[in-house]
Amino acid sequence: MPQKLVRRVSLLKANAARNKNKNSLIIAADTILYSRKTFFHKTIKKDIAFKNLQLLSGRRHNIYTGLTIID
């Protein structure tokens, strides 16, 4: 489930930040694109980004964001 994945990754990021920043307000997030039972991960490589855009072109997709705040 994409919803569970973004929640879990957001929480993992927040806990990692909390371990390095005691007594701080922590805000962490994760975003994932999901289409046709496939997760599309962020990339900085142009060829992979282009391939992903081709796969998504003209097709429905959903974007999920998980947010964690630790005070």
- Annotated active-site residue 47? The verdict is no
Which residues are within 8 A (CB) of 30 and not within 5 positions of it... i.e. 6 or more apart?
Answer: 5, 6, 9, 10, 13, 65, 66
Alpha-carbon span 48 to 31, nearest angstrom: 18
Catalytic residue among 30, 32, 40, 66: 30
Could you give the residue numbers annotated as active site? 30
